[in-house]
Amino acid sequence: MAGIPQNVKVKLPTLKRDLDKVISDRGVPYPHKHAFIFYFESDDTGAKKDAEILRNTFEDVMGIPSQIYMMPREEKFAQWELQAKIYKFADKFSPKLTGTTRPSLCVFAYAGHGMVHADYGLEFAGAGGAQKVRWRSVYDLLFRGPSLDHVHAFGLLDCCYSGAVRGQFPRTSQVLSACGPSGTANPRGQKITFSQRFRTAVLSLRDKGKKMTSVDEIYGAIQNDQQSRGAHSPVLTHFGNKGTIAFPIKPKGSSAPSHPTPSLKGTPNERTVIVKLTLDGNAPDVTKDFKEFLENLPSNFRAQIIEAYQTDTSALVLVRMTMETWARMSAAVELEIVGVATGQSLMRGLLGAPKRDENIAPRQEGKEASD
């Protein structure tokens, strides 16, 4: 006979303390930021176009100077060649050149084929697999190198198996992957590519009047893009000290709003995450306390308790939150996902209960935003 599973209890003061760290981290302005975009000349996936899309997005919308490197098809030592290019690129962040040790931002992006090696993990590859570059060789230089301790790193990987990224990162580092470790990216030319989805998400945030955004917010916008429904779900991986990586967004001409909107309004088709928490202590008290904590979050954090139950010495709580909120909170707290939901509860219609708006309500305009 199977035993009854035991829930891992969380002490509410510890939970609130850990979440407060994420909530208060608004990111830092980067005095120096540069992007390195890479693809193979031998590519047969249309990666050249995606590399140009990413460069245009980084430079024209996010104000990040970018360079594209195309690996020549005749290069026999592709990994060594890329490492040499990245080593030279990393000089842009040298304190001797920048004159400061304040945090800078390094962006690495790749579009093309991906594969997983049993020993080396994720690899980038040209058509046919004759040319290969290990992900590990990239993060050794850009994400882990001791000479870049003052640099925050962001990776954007548009390839199959891109969620297989691994590594030990001592500083703020985040990787946004097109799919999970065993998934394949959308076939280029047949569906919208991940690079295109990334650009669409950034533009949608700009159109909402955002002056600053974060990797977590872009991740949430990709998840809720109606045009890419049915595409593979991206993966956001936090490494290092779990800090926030934020980007400025250039206004859209002279007609851009002068102030960012306080929050994204819930829509009937918004995708949300339902997580389970077991709060240690008197169930009614800890549930009420946690409910008040969620209600007083800044405007760009949207989460609410949808159910709570008494257990022997704790409260079993189900919390529904936006994709962005989940991405930010899960960087600091282990959140057990029950599932991803869209729209209202189906049970209310089945039980004949009056319908009501069950989207996560936007914060009041008086609440402080953390972006």
Which pLDDT tens digit goes with each residue over 321-364?
Answer: 888 887 778 767 778 888 888 877 777 666 555 555 555 555 55
> Whose CA is closest to 90, among 141, 135, 140, 137?
141
Strands of 121-125's sheet in order across: 113-117, 121-125, 132-134
Average pLDDT taken over every residue of the chain: 80
Taking only the tens place, the pLDDT of each residue in 162-180 is 988 877 666 788 899 999 8
Per-residue confidence at 64, pLDDT binned at 50, 70, 90? very high
Q: How confident is the model at residue 176, as a pLDDT? A: 94
Fold annotation for 9-25+264-350 = Alpha-Beta Plaits (3.30.70)
Q: How confident is the model at residue 203, as a pLDDT? A: 93
Give the amino acid at 157.
L
> Whose CA is closest to 303, among 322, 287, 317?
322
Joined together, the tokens standing for residue 219 give: 């991740």
Phi/psi of residue 59, nearest 5 degrees? -80, -50
How many helices (H) and strands (E) the chain has is answered by 10, 16
Q: Taking 60 as the threshold, does the pLDDT of residue 188 lie above it?
A: no
Q: Of 180-189, 241-250, 283-292, 301-310, which range is least confident?
A: 180-189
**Percent of the chain scored above 70 by pLDDT?**
78
Phi/psi of residue 122, nearest 5 degrees? -65, 135
> What 3 state SS string does 260-326 have?
CCCCCCCCCCCEEEEEEEEEECCHHHHHHHHHHHHHCCCCCCCEEEEEEEECCCEEEEEEEEEHHHH
Alpha-carbon Rg of the chain, whole angstroms?
Answer: 22
Fold annotation for 33-255 = Rossmann fold (3.40.50)
Taking only the tens place, the pLDDT of each residue in 26-62 is 666 788 899 999 999 999 999 999 999 999 999 999 9
> Whose CA is closest to 211, among 258, 253, 244?
258
Q: Domain coordinates of the chain in residue numbers?
A: 9-25+264-350, 33-255
Per-residue confidence at 227, pLDDT binned at 50, 70, 90? low
Residue bearing the bigger pLDDT, 343 or 218: 218
